[in-house]
């Protein structure tokens, strides 16, 4: 590197400036500074020092900028005249950066920092700068050392001083001034101060990234959780992977720990685990470690202390071990600051941060995160016998559990589980035999629902226990449950039918005076009806397998005929089941409305499967109404949610919304997370169709995703909920939030079939394009194109290829964009019905050909493509409607752009500019004049077409005439140019008021004046 020439170092500095920020760029910057010092060119040496300082500024090695800055300052003091105005401004601007770094370095004594600030103030004053930047640095020092009185004074002086060329950008100043209020606990004031940055009014290279992260905890403390969620989604997306924003990454990790999103925090930590090492910038290290330690402490508290986590400096660590290491390191750094400052300000703030308690039990974020593994259960501690008051409470609990069971309340299982836990603390003699049987019943039912191997034996023991206690009606119910357990275990249909018959017989054998006899019989009948479709399906499958196993080729052919007859039998079975369900509703509707409601819902679903939507809607509504009348509103949620979905598919959104809202209302007591998710997903789907309800749709989709996650269905219902959430966010203008949610759900959505996969990639590509993440957007469009390449219709693939090409072009990947455009053009021409798309591709190819180099050859190629595009449009107009507005406007635009191609050629190869062109070839004066005249002709033709299209295209027409007029000026005939604009002015003045844009006439008159004065 030391043998490089000054020119080689200049080129290398330019290349270094384009590298990603980080250690590699810093190392190269250091080497270039060393080489520049050796080469002896003072100007190159100064440029290298500035490059090195800038490289450090946006990395985790900020504190290293102090040395190169000191050397740059020495160069200035040695020869100020060598610094032009720009160089001097650059030097003084970086004074502020260095002041921040020495304040943030515990190894620089306070006296040295104070001396530096005094020198900075003196130099700024001599140079004529305001004291604003100096007072800002003084505030940072006073706040760091705990001198609150001085900090208040410096802040007031900072804000009062005049802004000038040395003032930080508005966004950075707003950030720091908001922090001033946040550290005082005035969170609302902090958010108010930060608002211009948060709403995008003030931005810079690292804002709003940092303010979004800083705002998280204040928003949580203010209870503004929706904003906090959005700031996390948007802010982490901006900060992810940026070494200079490790403090912000730590704040996002901390936010996850404080909101019940520990799994999300662990994922973010894993993405940035490589930065868990001693950093040059120890203040950044301390702040980053602190955020991570808050998370790790929560994970330990949740029972995962022994789980493996990211390594520290290459050494494997458990969660608890890593927490101990990072906490110790952060506290040690804080104590270094305390020693330097003579106060405990830094360690006090650190310890307060580390001790934070969660600010929300669970704040759903909408993004998909893998749940933390369930910790191994600890051995239960001995529980002392309850006191009499506790025993009384237990009796009340049992009463509530029995009432819930008898009314079918969704809280039944939870109450019995609590009763079982409480009962385990009581001496066995204190439990009456019936309660012991009921607790055994609960355990057996739980095992049966989980498909446990010994469930049948447990249920049989429960039945026998009830019989021994003379509880025949409870024994009959247990008998019936044996059939359900057998079906779940995959027993033969004949065995299940036998058990169902035994259950019905047990119910019918109950004493005629038993109050629950009729209910037990009805439950047995309804259970048989509910299982009938499964049993018939299993029997049909058995017969099918048996027939194929025994038959020869002839028999197999005959079997195919039986299959058709089987279809008729299947339909007959549906009719029979429908009749039986209707009979059940009729028989029990008055006496047992809740059971009749269940049968009615089954009948509605069966009717819907047969295509009779009107009748199905009636039955579902009737089922819901019957459940509510029976005092079991929670039972109405499912049929209402299904009814809402059907109504939506029929294009009846108002009725669908009414049904969905009723379902949500009636699900208030539902404890099944899947059912809760389904109800909210349905309402979100309905509300997405309303333009004015996107915020509410997002709220319900977000909650639905949370419930599906709780049910273990994150990849199924959870993915659909996130799909809807992303749509709602996108329609509300929350593009970054939508992209973050959709990207988290994408792996799941890709498993939901090609149609869903294509839609997901297209949606994500559009979001990324809107966020100007062009390279990532092109990847999604190309992957979508791959998914549809085997489809019979080539138009989707063509559309994705063209979208990918647009994004590749925006990303500066010219070669890749050209390849994608050519593929899109090939596909568009296969369909023969995409003239506009074909033309736009040709124009894009023309401009891409000029991106790298403008020569006569590349301009000729671009011209040929523009002329080809014009030819395609002219042919389409001749073959169809010659006045088709869209085609005419595209033709005018093509002529306009052809003129611009010629203008680009002249601008690059005119004699006075030829030295700057890559080839150095210049056009002759005659060639320049000819091209200028041709430009005017194309702009005139375009303007004439726009005139035919009417007032809607006045702005485009004005642009063409304006270009032609200034080209006239370049040809030395400004009067002709002024005449063009004057003619347009006269025409516009005669149009009705409001036809033309307000700016057009004033601007046109100014152009005329300027041209005539030339």
Predicted local confidence at residue 692, as pLDDT: 93
Backbone angles phi, psi at 214, to 5 degrees: -65, -30
Q: What is the pLDDT of residues 310-324, one digit of tens each?
A: 999 889 999 999 999
Residue 810, pLDDT above cutoff 70: yes
On average, the pLDDT of the chain sits at: 91
Predicted local confidence at residue 536, as pLDDT: 86
Q: What is the pLDDT of residues 15-35, one digit of tens each?
A: 888 888 888 898 999 898 888
Q: Which residue do the tokens 């992303």 mark?
A: 726
DSSP structure class, residue 732: T
CB atoms within 10 A of CB 846: 25
Backbone angles phi, psi at 311, to 5 degrees: -75, 160
Predicted local confidence at residue 57, as pLDDT: 83
Token code pair at residue 428: 């066995």
Predicted local confidence at residue 377, as pLDDT: 44
Mean pLDDT for the stretch of residues 506-523: 93
Residue 787, pLDDT above cutoff 70: yes
Q: What is the pLDDT of residues 553-599, one digit of tens each?
A: 333 333 333 333 445 556 777 889 999 999 999 999 999 999 999 99
Give start and end residues of each alpha helix (H) in 245-362.
246-258, 262-271, 282-299, 319-341, 345-354
What is the Cα–Cα distance from 346 to 358, expressed in whole angstroms? 22
Residues 178/190, Cβ–Cβ less than 8 Å: yes
Residues 139/149, Cβ–Cβ less than 8 Å: no
Comparing CA positions, the residue from 79, 77, 82, 12 lying closest to residue 51 is 12
Mean pLDDT for the stretch of residues 784-793: 94
Mean pLDDT for the stretch of residues 663-690: 95
Token code pair at residue 894: 């093509």
What is the Cα–Cα distance from 981 to 14, expressed in whole angstroms? 44
CA angle 764, 766, 769 (to 5 degrees): 110
Residue 816, pLDDT above cutoff 70: yes
| Confidence band of 380 (pLDDT split at 50, 70, 90) | very low
Secondary structure class of 285 (helix, strand, coil): helix
What's the alpha-carbon Rg for the chain, to the nearest Å? 38
Residues 75/45, Cβ–Cβ less than 8 Å: yes
Predicted local confidence at residue 58, as pLDDT: 83
Residues 643/624, Cβ–Cβ less than 8 Å: yes
Predicted local confidence at residue 59, as pLDDT: 81
What is the Cα–Cα distance from 934 to 905, expressed in whole angstroms? 12
Comparing CA positions, the residue from 879, 787, 800 lying closest to residue 832 is 879
- Give, for 316, the enclosing helix (H) or strand (E): strand 315-318
Residue 919, pLDDT above cutoff 60: no
What is the Cα–Cα distance from 874 to 897, expressed in whole angstroms? 16
Predicted local confidence at residue 390, as pLDDT: 60
Backbone angles phi, psi at 207, to 5 degrees: -130, 135
Residues 93/72, Cβ–Cβ less than 8 Å: no
DSSP structure class, residue 204: B
Predicted local confidence at residue 554, as pLDDT: 34
What is the Cα–Cα distance from 930 to 68, expressed in whole angstroms? 55
Distances (CA, A) of 581 to 578, 759, 944, 1001: 5, 40, 74, 77
Distances (CA, A) of 249 to 100, 291, 333, 556, 600: 20, 8, 19, 66, 54
Predicted local confidence at residue 63, as pLDDT: 78
Burial of 210 per CB tally in 10 Å (0-12, 13-18, 19+): buried
Predicted local confidence at residue 378, as pLDDT: 41
End-to-end CA distance of the chain: 54
Helices first, then strands: H and E counts in the chain: 45, 2
User: CB under 8 Å to 676, separation ≥6 — which residues?
Assistant: 667, 670, 703, 704, 707
Q: What is the pLDDT of residues 826-836, one digit of tens each?
A: 999 988 889 99
Mean pLDDT for the stretch of residues 979-1007: 93
Residues 869/842, Cβ–Cβ less than 8 Å: yes
Predicted local confidence at residue 911, as pLDDT: 73
Q: What is the pLDDT of residues 173-215, one digit of tens each?
A: 999 999 999 999 999 999 999 999 999 999 999 999 999 999 9
Q: What is the pLDDT of residues 384-396, one digit of tens each?
A: 444 444 667 888 9
Q: What percent of the chain has pLDDT over 90?
A: 76
* pTM, rounded to two decimals: 0.85
Predicted local confidence at residue 50, as pLDDT: 87
What is the Cα–Cα distance from 864 to 872, expressed in whole angstroms? 12
CA atoms within 13 A on the CB side of 744: 25
Token code pair at residue 939: 């702009």
Token code pair at residue 920: 């150095």
Comparing CA positions, the residue from 158, 169, 231 lying closest to residue 206 is 169
| Sign of the dihedral through C-alpha 954, 960, 966, 968 | negative
């Amino acid at each position: 590197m030391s043998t490089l020439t000054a020119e080689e170092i200049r080129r290398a500095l330019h290349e270094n400036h384009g590298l990603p920020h980080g250690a590699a760029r810093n190392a190269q910057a250091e080497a270039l500074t060393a080489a520049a010092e050796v080469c002896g060119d003072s100007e190159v040496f100064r440029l290298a020092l500035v490059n090195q300082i800038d490289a450090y500024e946006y990395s985790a090695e900020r504190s290293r900028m102090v040395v190169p800055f000191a050397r740059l300052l020495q160069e200035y003091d040695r020869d100020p005249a060598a610094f032009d105005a720009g160089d001097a401004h650059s030097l003084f601007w970086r004074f502020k950066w260095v002041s921040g770094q020495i304040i943030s370095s515990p190894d620089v004594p306070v006296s040295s920092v104070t001396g530096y600030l005094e020198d900075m103030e003196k130099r700024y004053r001599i140079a004529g700068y305001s004291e604003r930047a100096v007072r800002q640095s003084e505030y940072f020092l006073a706040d760091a050392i705990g001198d609150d009185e001085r900090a208040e004074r410096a802040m007031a002086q900072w804000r009062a001083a005049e802004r000038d060329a040395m003032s930080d950008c508005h966004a950075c100043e707003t950030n720091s001034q908001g922090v001033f209020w946040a550290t005082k606990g005035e969170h609302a004031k902090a958010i108010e101060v930060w608002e211009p940055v948060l709403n995008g009014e003030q931005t810079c290279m690292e804002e709003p990234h940092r303010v979004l992260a800083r705002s998280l905890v204040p928003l949580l403390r203010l209870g503004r959780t929706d904003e906090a969620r959005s700031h996390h989604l948007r802010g982490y997306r901006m900060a992810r992977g940026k070494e200079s924003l490790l403090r912000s990454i730590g704040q996002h990790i901390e936010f996850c720990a404080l909101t019940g999103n520990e799994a999300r925090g662990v994922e973010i930590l894993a993405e940035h685990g490589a930065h868990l090492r001693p950093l040059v910038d120890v203040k950044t290290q301390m702040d980053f470690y602190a955020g991570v330690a808050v998370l790790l402490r929560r994970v330990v508290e949740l029972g995962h202390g022994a789980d493996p986590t990211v390594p520290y400096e290459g050494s494997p660590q458990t969660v608890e071990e890593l927490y101990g290491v990072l906490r110790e390191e952060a506290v040690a750094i804080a104590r270094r600051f305390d020693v330097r400052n003579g106060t405990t300000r830094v360690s006090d703030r650190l310890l307060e941060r580390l001790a934070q308690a969660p600010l929300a039990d669970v704040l759903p974020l909408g993004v998909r995160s893998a749940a933390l593994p369930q910790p191994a259960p600890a051995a239960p501690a001995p529980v002392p016998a309850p006191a009499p008051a506790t025993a009384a409470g237990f009796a009340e609990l049992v009463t509530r559990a029995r009432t819930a069971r008898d009314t079918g309340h969704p809280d039944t299982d939870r109450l019995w589980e609590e009763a079982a836990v409480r009962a385990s603390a009581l001496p066995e003699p204190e439990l009456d035999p019936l309660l012991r049987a009921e607790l055994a019943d609960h355990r057996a039912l739980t095992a049966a629902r989980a498909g446990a191997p010994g469930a049948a034996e447990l249920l049989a023991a429960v039945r026998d226990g009830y019989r021994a206690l003379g509880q025949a009606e409870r024994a009959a119910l247990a008998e019936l449950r044996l059939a359900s357990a057998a079906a779940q275990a995959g027993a033969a249909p004949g065995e299940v039918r036998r058990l169902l018959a035994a259950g019905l017989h047990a119910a019918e054998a109950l004493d005629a005076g038993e109050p629950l006899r009729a209910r037990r019989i009805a439950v047995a009948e309804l259970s048989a009806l509910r299982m009938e479709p499964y049993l018939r399906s299993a029997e049909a499958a058995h017969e099918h397998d048996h027939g194929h196993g025994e038959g020869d080729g002839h028999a197999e052919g005959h079997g195919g005929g039986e299959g058709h007859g089987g279809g008729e039998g299947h339909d007959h079975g549906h009719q029979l089941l429908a009749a039986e369900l209707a009979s059940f509703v009729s028989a029990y509707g008055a006496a047992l409305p809740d059971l009749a409601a269940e049968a009615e819902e089954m009948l509605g679903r069966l009717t819907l499967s047969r295509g009779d939507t009107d009748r199905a809607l009636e039955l579902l509504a009737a089922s819901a109404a019957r459940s509510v009348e029976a005092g079991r509103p929670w039972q109405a949620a499912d049929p209402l949610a299904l009814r809402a979905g059907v109504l939506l598919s029929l294009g009846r959104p108002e009725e669908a919304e009414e049904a969905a809202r009723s379902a949500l209302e009636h699900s208030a007591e539902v404890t099944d997370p899947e059912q809760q998710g389904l109800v909210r997903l349905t309402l979100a789907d309905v509300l997405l169709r309303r333009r004015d309800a996107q915020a509410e749709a997002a709220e319900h989709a977000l909650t639905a995703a949370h419930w599906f996650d709780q049910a273990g269905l994150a990849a199924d219902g959870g993915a659909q909920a996130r799909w809807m959430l992303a749509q709602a966010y996108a329609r509300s203008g929350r593009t970054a939030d939508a992209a973050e949610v959709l990207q988290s759900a994408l792996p799941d959505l890709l498993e939901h079939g090609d149609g869903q996969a294509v839609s997901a990639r297209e949606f994500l590509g559009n979001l990324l394009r809107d966020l100007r993440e062009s390279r990532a957007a092109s990847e999604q469009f190309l992957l979508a194109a791959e998914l549809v390449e085997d489809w019979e219709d080539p138009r989707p693939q063509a559309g994705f290829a063209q979208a990918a090409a647009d994004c590749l072009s925006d990303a500066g990947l010219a070669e890749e964009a050209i390849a994608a455009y050519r593929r899109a053009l090939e596909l568009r021409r296969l369909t023969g019905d995409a003239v506009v798309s074909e033309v736009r591709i040709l124009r894009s190819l023309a401009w891409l050909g000029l991106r790298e180099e403008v020569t006569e050859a590349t301009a000729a190629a671009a011209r040929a493509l523009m002329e080809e595009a014009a030819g395609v449009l002219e042919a389409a107009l001749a073959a169809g409607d010659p006045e088709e507005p869209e085609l005419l406007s595209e033709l005018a635009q093509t002529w306009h752009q052809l003129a611009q191609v010629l203008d680009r050629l002249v601008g690059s190869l005119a004699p006075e500019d030829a030295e700057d062109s890559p080839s150095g070839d210049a056009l002759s004066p005659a060639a320049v004049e000819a091209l200028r005249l041709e430009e005017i002709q194309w702009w005139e033709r375009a303007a004439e077409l726009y005139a035919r299209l009417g007032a809607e295209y006045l702005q485009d027409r004005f642009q063409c005439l304006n270009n032609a007029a200034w080209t006239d000026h370049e040809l030395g005939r400004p009067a002709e140019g002024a005449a063009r604009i004057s003619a347009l002015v006269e025409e516009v003045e005669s149009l009705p008021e409001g036809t033309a844009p307000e700016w057009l006439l004033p601007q046109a008159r100014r152009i005329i004046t300027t041209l005539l004065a030339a």
